[in-house]
Structure 1
Amino acid sequence: MAISKTNVKIFSAAAAALVLTGGITAAANAVAPQAAPQAAPAAQTAAVPAIDVPAGDGTTVAQNRISATASAKAVQAALAKCVGDKLPFVTVSVVDRFGTVQAMLRGDNAAEHTIEASKQKAYTAAAFGANTSELAGRINGNGKPSIADLPGTLFLAGGVPLKVNGVSVAGIGVGGAPDGMLDEACATAGAQAILAK
Protein backbone atom coordinates (compact mmCIF):
# COMPACT_ATOMS: atom_id res chain seq x y z
CA MET A 1 0.00 0.00 0.00
CA ALA A 2 1.50 3.31 -1.07
CA ILE A 3 1.37 6.34 1.20
CA SER A 4 0.49 9.51 -0.63
CA LYS A 5 2.06 12.86 0.06
CA THR A 6 -1.23 14.05 1.54
CA ASN A 7 -1.28 11.18 4.06
CA VAL A 8 2.33 11.90 5.03
CA LYS A 9 1.43 15.53 5.70
CA ILE A 10 -1.57 14.49 7.86
CA PHE A 11 0.54 11.99 9.85
CA SER A 12 3.30 14.58 10.27
CA ALA A 13 0.81 17.20 11.48
CA ALA A 14 -0.79 14.71 13.92
CA ALA A 15 2.61 13.70 15.31
CA ALA A 16 3.60 17.35 15.74
CA ALA A 17 0.33 18.04 17.57
CA LEU A 18 0.95 15.11 19.93
CA VAL A 19 4.48 16.26 20.66
CA LEU A 20 3.31 19.85 21.20
CA THR A 21 0.39 18.78 23.46
CA GLY A 22 2.64 16.46 25.43
CA GLY A 23 5.21 19.22 25.89
CA ILE A 24 2.61 21.73 27.09
CA THR A 25 1.10 19.18 29.51
CA ALA A 26 4.53 18.29 30.90
CA ALA A 27 5.38 21.97 31.33
CA ALA A 28 2.06 22.65 33.06
CA ASN A 29 2.54 19.70 35.40
CA ALA A 30 6.02 20.85 36.28
CA VAL A 31 4.78 24.37 37.15
CA ALA A 32 1.45 23.44 38.79
CA PRO A 33 2.75 22.28 42.19
CA GLN A 34 4.70 25.53 42.64
CA ALA A 35 1.74 27.69 41.52
CA ALA A 36 -0.82 26.09 43.86
CA PRO A 37 -1.61 28.26 46.88
CA GLN A 38 -0.49 26.82 50.17
CA ALA A 39 -3.09 26.35 52.88
CA ALA A 40 -2.60 28.36 56.02
CA PRO A 41 -1.68 26.27 59.02
CA ALA A 42 -4.63 25.54 61.30
CA ALA A 43 -2.84 27.11 64.26
CA GLN A 44 -2.89 30.52 62.58
CA THR A 45 -6.71 30.58 62.20
CA ALA A 46 -8.22 32.18 65.29
CA ALA A 47 -11.85 31.44 66.17
CA VAL A 48 -14.04 34.37 67.13
CA PRO A 49 -15.17 33.79 70.71
CA ALA A 50 -18.89 33.83 71.51
CA ILE A 51 -19.99 36.83 73.50
CA ASP A 52 -22.09 35.91 76.52
CA VAL A 53 -24.44 38.86 76.94
CA PRO A 54 -25.95 39.07 80.43
CA ALA A 55 -29.74 39.12 80.64
CA GLY A 56 -31.32 42.38 81.72
CA ASP A 57 -29.22 45.37 82.73
CA GLY A 58 -30.25 47.22 79.58
CA THR A 59 -28.81 44.57 77.23
CA THR A 60 -31.81 42.31 76.61
CA VAL A 61 -35.59 42.64 76.50
CA ALA A 62 -38.02 40.00 77.77
CA GLN A 63 -40.92 39.44 75.40
CA ASN A 64 -44.23 37.64 75.68
CA ARG A 65 -45.52 35.43 72.89
CA ILE A 66 -48.76 33.58 72.39
CA SER A 67 -48.00 29.86 72.65
CA ALA A 68 -48.45 27.44 69.76
CA THR A 69 -51.24 25.70 71.68
CA ALA A 70 -53.13 28.96 72.32
CA SER A 71 -52.58 30.11 68.73
CA ALA A 72 -53.96 26.83 67.35
CA LYS A 73 -56.96 27.10 69.67
CA ALA A 74 -57.62 30.67 68.49
CA VAL A 75 -57.53 29.94 64.75
CA GLN A 76 -59.74 26.88 65.20
CA ALA A 77 -62.31 28.83 67.24
CA ALA A 78 -62.33 31.74 64.78
CA LEU A 79 -62.86 29.43 61.81
CA ALA A 80 -65.57 27.51 63.70
CA LYS A 81 -67.40 30.81 64.31
CA CYS A 82 -67.19 31.71 60.62
CA VAL A 83 -68.34 28.24 59.55
CA GLY A 84 -71.25 28.54 62.00
CA ASP A 85 -72.10 31.86 60.36
CA LYS A 86 -72.03 30.12 56.95
CA LEU A 87 -68.69 31.74 56.04
CA PRO A 88 -66.40 28.72 55.47
CA PHE A 89 -64.33 30.52 52.85
CA VAL A 90 -62.11 32.57 55.18
CA THR A 91 -58.53 32.24 56.38
CA VAL A 92 -57.51 32.92 59.98
CA SER A 93 -53.98 33.89 61.06
CA VAL A 94 -52.29 34.55 64.39
CA VAL A 95 -49.04 36.52 64.09
CA ASP A 96 -46.59 37.87 66.64
CA ARG A 97 -46.05 41.61 66.94
CA PHE A 98 -43.42 41.46 64.19
CA GLY A 99 -45.83 39.83 61.73
CA THR A 100 -44.37 36.32 61.90
CA VAL A 101 -47.10 33.71 61.52
CA GLN A 102 -47.67 31.63 64.64
CA ALA A 103 -50.72 29.72 63.35
CA MET A 104 -52.89 29.79 60.23
CA LEU A 105 -56.00 27.90 59.21
CA ARG A 106 -57.51 28.19 55.74
CA GLY A 107 -61.19 27.37 55.49
CA ASP A 108 -62.77 25.24 52.80
CA ASN A 109 -62.95 27.13 49.50
CA ALA A 110 -60.99 30.11 50.89
CA ALA A 111 -59.46 32.06 48.01
CA GLU A 112 -55.72 32.71 47.92
CA HIS A 113 -56.07 36.44 48.67
CA THR A 114 -57.61 35.60 52.06
CA ILE A 115 -54.26 34.23 53.23
CA GLU A 116 -52.47 37.58 52.86
CA ALA A 117 -55.50 39.53 54.05
CA SER A 118 -55.69 37.55 57.31
CA LYS A 119 -51.94 37.90 57.94
CA GLN A 120 -51.92 41.63 57.22
CA LYS A 121 -54.99 42.32 59.36
CA ALA A 122 -53.46 40.34 62.24
CA TYR A 123 -50.15 42.21 61.91
CA THR A 124 -51.87 45.60 61.69
CA ALA A 125 -53.85 44.89 64.86
CA ALA A 126 -50.73 43.65 66.67
CA ALA A 127 -48.55 46.56 65.53
CA PHE A 128 -51.03 49.28 66.46
CA GLY A 129 -52.66 47.52 69.43
CA ALA A 130 -56.19 48.19 68.19
CA ASN A 131 -58.90 46.48 66.16
CA THR A 132 -58.43 47.15 62.47
CA SER A 133 -62.03 48.39 62.20
CA GLU A 134 -61.06 51.23 64.56
CA LEU A 135 -57.80 51.87 62.73
CA ALA A 136 -59.58 52.10 59.36
CA GLY A 137 -61.23 55.31 60.59
CA ARG A 138 -57.83 56.90 61.23
CA ILE A 139 -56.72 56.74 57.62
CA ASN A 140 -56.82 60.14 56.01
CA GLY A 141 -54.11 60.50 53.43
CA ASN A 142 -55.78 63.21 51.31
CA GLY A 143 -53.52 62.15 48.47
CA LYS A 144 -50.46 62.18 50.74
CA PRO A 145 -48.69 59.20 52.32
CA SER A 146 -50.48 57.85 55.38
CA ILE A 147 -50.33 54.88 57.74
CA ALA A 148 -52.19 52.92 55.05
CA ASP A 149 -48.95 52.97 53.03
CA LEU A 150 -46.97 51.01 55.62
CA PRO A 151 -45.80 47.69 54.16
CA GLY A 152 -47.57 44.53 55.32
CA THR A 153 -50.53 46.37 56.83
CA LEU A 154 -54.20 46.23 55.90
CA PHE A 155 -56.65 48.70 57.41
CA LEU A 156 -59.83 46.72 56.86
CA ALA A 157 -61.97 45.32 59.66
CA GLY A 158 -61.06 41.78 60.71
CA GLY A 159 -57.93 42.16 62.88
CA VAL A 160 -57.92 42.01 66.69
CA PRO A 161 -54.86 42.57 68.91
CA LEU A 162 -53.84 40.08 71.60
CA LYS A 163 -52.41 41.83 74.66
CA VAL A 164 -50.52 40.82 77.78
CA ASN A 165 -50.87 43.30 80.65
CA GLY A 166 -52.15 45.90 78.20
CA VAL A 167 -49.23 45.49 75.78
CA SER A 168 -49.93 44.16 72.29
CA VAL A 169 -47.90 40.99 71.71
CA ALA A 170 -49.78 39.41 68.79
CA GLY A 171 -52.81 39.73 66.56
CA ILE A 172 -55.48 37.51 65.07
CA GLY A 173 -56.85 38.33 61.65
CA VAL A 174 -59.61 36.91 59.48
CA GLY A 175 -59.96 37.57 55.76
CA GLY A 176 -62.55 36.49 53.23
CA ALA A 177 -66.02 37.32 54.57
CA PRO A 178 -68.16 39.67 52.46
CA ASP A 179 -68.00 42.30 55.23
CA GLY A 180 -65.03 43.12 57.44
CA MET A 181 -67.19 43.23 60.56
CA LEU A 182 -68.08 39.56 59.95
CA ASP A 183 -64.35 38.83 59.79
CA GLU A 184 -63.83 40.76 63.01
CA ALA A 185 -66.58 38.83 64.83
CA CYS A 186 -64.75 35.60 63.98
CA ALA A 187 -61.38 37.05 65.02
CA THR A 188 -62.89 38.16 68.33
CA ALA A 189 -64.27 34.65 68.92
CA GLY A 190 -60.79 33.28 68.30
CA ALA A 191 -59.21 35.75 70.73
CA GLN A 192 -61.78 34.89 73.40
CA ALA A 193 -61.13 31.17 72.94
CA ILE A 194 -57.61 31.64 74.30
CA LEU A 195 -59.15 32.62 77.66
CA ALA A 196 -61.49 29.60 77.79
CA LYS A 197 -60.28 26.75 79.97
Structure 2
Amino acid sequence: MNAIDLRKRLALGAVAGLAVVGAVVGAGAYAAPETEAEPIDAVAVAEVQEEGVRGANALTHEAALAVLDAAQDKAAELGERVTVAVVDRNGNTIALVKGDGAGPQSPDSAEAKAYTAVSWGQATSDLAGAAEGEGATVADIPGTLFLAGGVPVVYDGAPIAGVGVGGAPSGDIDEEIALAGLAALADLEG
Protein backbone atom coordinates (compact mmCIF):
# COMPACT_ATOMS: atom_id res chain seq x y z
CA MET A 1 0.00 0.00 0.00
CA ASN A 2 1.52 3.35 -0.96
CA ALA A 3 1.36 6.58 1.07
CA ILE A 4 -1.50 8.07 -0.96
CA ASP A 5 -3.67 4.95 -0.52
CA LEU A 6 -2.96 5.05 3.22
CA ARG A 7 -3.90 8.76 3.36
CA LYS A 8 -7.16 8.04 1.49
CA ARG A 9 -8.03 5.27 3.91
CA LEU A 10 -7.22 7.48 6.90
CA ALA A 11 -9.30 10.34 5.48
CA LEU A 12 -12.22 8.03 4.78
CA GLY A 13 -11.90 6.52 8.25
CA ALA A 14 -11.98 9.99 9.82
CA VAL A 15 -15.05 10.97 7.80
CA ALA A 16 -16.76 7.72 8.75
CA GLY A 17 -15.87 8.27 12.41
CA LEU A 18 -17.35 11.76 12.34
CA ALA A 19 -20.50 10.38 10.71
CA VAL A 20 -20.89 7.82 13.51
CA VAL A 21 -20.42 10.48 16.19
CA GLY A 22 -22.89 12.76 14.43
CA ALA A 23 -25.41 9.96 14.17
CA VAL A 24 -25.11 9.09 17.86
CA VAL A 25 -25.38 12.71 18.97
CA GLY A 26 -28.28 13.51 16.65
CA ALA A 27 -30.14 10.21 17.09
CA GLY A 28 -32.44 11.61 19.74
CA ALA A 29 -33.49 14.57 17.62
CA TYR A 30 -33.65 13.05 14.17
CA ALA A 31 -33.75 9.58 12.73
CA ALA A 32 -31.96 9.59 9.38
CA PRO A 33 -33.19 7.32 6.65
CA GLU A 34 -31.04 4.28 6.14
CA THR A 35 -29.05 4.98 3.00
CA GLU A 36 -25.51 4.12 2.09
CA ALA A 37 -23.20 7.14 1.82
CA GLU A 38 -21.14 7.73 -1.30
CA PRO A 39 -17.38 7.45 -0.64
CA ILE A 40 -15.57 10.80 -0.66
CA ASP A 41 -12.37 11.17 -2.67
CA ALA A 42 -9.59 12.43 -0.43
CA VAL A 43 -7.30 15.17 -1.72
CA ALA A 44 -3.79 13.88 -2.39
CA VAL A 45 -0.81 15.65 -0.87
CA ALA A 46 0.56 18.22 -3.30
CA GLU A 47 3.83 17.27 -4.91
CA VAL A 48 6.19 20.26 -4.89
CA GLN A 49 8.70 20.67 -7.67
CA GLU A 50 12.37 21.39 -6.99
CA GLU A 51 11.93 25.09 -7.85
CA GLY A 52 9.57 25.46 -4.89
CA VAL A 53 11.88 23.94 -2.28
CA ARG A 54 14.80 25.47 -0.45
CA GLY A 55 17.33 23.35 1.40
CA ALA A 56 18.46 24.21 4.90
CA ASN A 57 21.76 23.45 6.56
CA ALA A 58 21.72 22.20 10.12
CA LEU A 59 24.13 20.89 12.71
CA THR A 60 24.27 17.14 13.11
CA HIS A 61 23.54 15.46 16.42
CA GLU A 62 27.24 14.66 16.75
CA ALA A 63 28.24 18.27 16.13
CA ALA A 64 25.81 19.58 18.75
CA LEU A 65 27.14 17.09 21.30
CA ALA A 66 30.73 18.08 20.48
CA VAL A 67 29.82 21.72 21.20
CA LEU A 68 28.27 20.78 24.55
CA ASP A 69 31.26 18.63 25.56
CA ALA A 70 33.88 21.22 24.61
CA ALA A 71 32.00 24.04 26.33
CA GLN A 72 31.49 22.06 29.53
CA ASP A 73 35.19 21.06 29.48
CA LYS A 74 36.13 24.74 29.26
CA ALA A 75 33.71 25.58 32.09
CA ALA A 76 35.32 22.90 34.27
CA GLU A 77 38.78 24.25 33.42
CA LEU A 78 37.63 27.71 34.54
CA GLY A 79 35.85 26.35 37.62
CA GLU A 80 32.43 27.56 36.41
CA ARG A 81 29.03 25.91 36.71
CA VAL A 82 27.02 26.69 33.61
CA THR A 83 24.35 25.51 31.24
CA VAL A 84 25.15 25.25 27.54
CA ALA A 85 22.42 25.34 24.89
CA VAL A 86 22.50 24.80 21.13
CA VAL A 87 19.57 25.99 19.03
CA ASP A 88 18.85 25.45 15.33
CA ARG A 89 18.26 28.18 12.74
CA ASN A 90 14.66 28.55 13.90
CA GLY A 91 15.67 28.99 17.52
CA ASN A 92 14.51 25.53 18.61
CA THR A 93 16.69 23.93 21.26
CA ILE A 94 18.43 20.88 19.81
CA ALA A 95 20.87 20.20 22.66
CA LEU A 96 21.24 21.40 26.22
CA VAL A 97 23.26 20.34 29.22
CA LYS A 98 22.98 21.88 32.66
CA GLY A 99 26.27 21.39 34.43
CA ASP A 100 26.41 20.19 38.01
CA GLY A 101 25.67 23.10 40.32
CA ALA A 102 24.52 25.50 37.58
CA GLY A 103 21.89 27.95 38.79
CA PRO A 104 18.19 27.51 38.09
CA GLN A 105 18.16 30.55 35.78
CA SER A 106 21.00 29.25 33.62
CA PRO A 107 18.98 27.08 31.17
CA ASP A 108 16.67 29.97 30.27
CA SER A 109 19.62 32.33 29.95
CA ALA A 110 21.63 29.92 27.76
CA GLU A 111 18.69 29.26 25.43
CA ALA A 112 17.85 32.96 25.10
CA LYS A 113 21.47 33.86 24.32
CA ALA A 114 21.72 31.09 21.69
CA TYR A 115 18.39 32.20 20.16
CA THR A 116 19.53 35.83 20.04
CA ALA A 117 22.89 34.93 18.46
CA VAL A 118 21.36 32.85 15.66
CA SER A 119 18.57 35.38 15.07
CA TRP A 120 20.97 38.23 14.39
CA GLY A 121 23.95 36.18 13.22
CA GLN A 122 26.20 37.93 15.71
CA ALA A 123 27.64 37.34 19.15
CA THR A 124 25.33 38.69 21.84
CA SER A 125 28.19 40.76 23.23
CA ASP A 126 28.24 42.67 19.91
CA LEU A 127 24.48 43.28 20.12
CA ALA A 128 24.30 44.64 23.67
CA GLY A 129 24.37 48.27 22.48
CA ALA A 130 21.27 47.72 20.34
CA ALA A 131 19.32 46.80 23.45
CA GLU A 132 20.07 50.07 25.23
CA GLY A 133 18.28 53.37 24.96
CA GLU A 134 14.99 55.00 25.71
CA GLY A 135 11.75 53.69 24.33
CA ALA A 136 11.36 50.40 22.52
CA THR A 137 14.52 48.47 21.66
CA VAL A 138 15.37 45.03 20.33
CA ALA A 139 15.49 43.92 23.98
CA ASP A 140 11.68 44.02 23.91
CA ILE A 141 11.56 41.08 21.52
CA PRO A 142 10.39 38.00 23.47
CA GLY A 143 12.93 35.25 24.02
CA THR A 144 16.00 37.41 23.42
CA LEU A 145 18.81 38.23 25.83
CA PHE A 146 21.46 40.79 24.98
CA LEU A 147 24.11 39.73 27.46
CA ALA A 148 27.45 38.26 26.42
CA GLY A 149 27.51 34.48 26.15
CA GLY A 150 25.76 33.72 22.85
CA VAL A 151 27.57 33.04 19.56
CA PRO A 152 26.22 32.06 16.14
CA VAL A 153 27.30 29.01 14.16
CA VAL A 154 27.81 30.14 10.57
CA TYR A 155 27.94 27.89 7.53
CA ASP A 156 28.35 29.11 3.97
CA GLY A 157 27.96 32.71 5.13
CA ALA A 158 24.66 32.23 6.97
CA PRO A 159 23.81 31.46 10.61
CA ILE A 160 22.56 27.89 11.01
CA ALA A 161 22.65 27.53 14.80
CA GLY A 162 23.42 29.37 18.00
CA VAL A 163 25.40 28.43 21.10
CA GLY A 164 24.49 30.02 24.40
CA VAL A 165 26.03 29.77 27.85
CA GLY A 166 24.48 30.96 31.08
CA GLY A 167 25.51 30.77 34.70
CA ALA A 168 29.02 32.21 35.01
CA PRO A 169 29.41 35.36 37.11
CA SER A 170 30.00 37.49 33.99
CA GLY A 171 28.99 37.40 30.35
CA ASP A 172 32.64 37.55 29.30
CA ILE A 173 33.23 34.16 30.92
CA ASP A 174 30.02 32.78 29.40
CA GLU A 175 31.23 33.94 25.97
CA GLU A 176 34.68 32.37 26.47
CA ILE A 177 32.97 29.06 27.22
CA ALA A 178 30.63 29.41 24.22
CA LEU A 179 33.60 30.11 21.93
CA ALA A 180 35.31 26.96 23.21
CA GLY A 181 32.21 25.01 22.21
CA LEU A 182 32.20 26.69 18.80
CA ALA A 183 35.87 25.80 18.30
CA ALA A 184 35.00 22.11 18.65
CA LEU A 185 33.19 22.28 15.29
CA ALA A 186 36.48 22.93 13.52
CA ASP A 187 37.84 19.66 14.90
CA LEU A 188 35.04 17.49 13.50
CA GLU A 189 35.95 15.16 10.66
CA GLY A 190 33.77 15.34 7.59
CA pair 34-182 structure 1, distance change in 2 beyond 3 A: closer
CA pair 43-166 structure 1, distance change in 2 beyond 3 A: same
Q: What residue in structure 2 maps to residue 22 of structure 1?
A: none
Q: Are residues 1:165 and 2:153 paired?
A: no
What is the alpha-carbon root mean square deviation over aligned residues?
1.9
Q: Are residues 1:190 and 2:156 paired?
A: no
Aligned equivalent of 1:64, options 57, 64, 85: 57
The superposition leaves residues 46-101 of structure 1 with CA deviations (integer Å, 9 ceiling, x where unpaired) of 2121100112x2x22111001111001101110110111000x2100000121101
Per-residue deviation at 1:33?
8.7
Q: What residue in structure 1 maps to residue 22 of structure 2?
A: none
Which amino acid counterpart does residue 101 of structure 1 have in structure 2?
T
Q: Are residues 1:136 and 2:128 paired?
A: yes
Aligned equivalent of 1:103, options 91, 95, 98: 95
Question: Could you tell me how far apart the structure 1 residues matched to 2:89 and 2:61 are?
Answer: 15
Question: Could you tell me how far apart the structure 2 residues matched to 1:86 and 1:196 are?
Answer: 24
Contact 2:153 2:159 in 1 (8 A): yes
Per-residue deviation at 1:41?
4.4
5 Å-filtered alignment, 1:33-182, equals 35-37=30-32, 41=36, 43-55=38-50, 57=51, 59-87=52-80, 89-142=81-134, 144-182=135-173
CA pair 96-40 structure 1, distance change in 2 beyond 3 A: farther
Per-residue deviation at 1:165?
1.4
Q: Structure 1-normalised TM-score?
A: 0.77
Question: Could you tell me how far apart the structure 1 residues matched to 2:146 and 2:29 are?
Answer: 67
How many residues in Structure 1 have an aligned counterpart in Structure 2? 162
Q: Give 5+ residue unaligned stretches, structure 2.
A: 1-26
Q: What residue in structure 1 maps to residue 21 of structure 2?
A: none
Name the larger-Rg structure. Answer: 1
Question: Could you tell me how far apart the structure 2 residues matched to 1:164 and 1:81 are?
Answer: 23
SS of structure 2 residue aligned to 1:119: helix
Q: Structure 2-normalised TM-score?
A: 0.79
CA pair 106-45 structure 1, distance change in 2 beyond 3 A: same
Per-residue deviation at 1:166?
1.6
Q: Percent identity?
A: 40
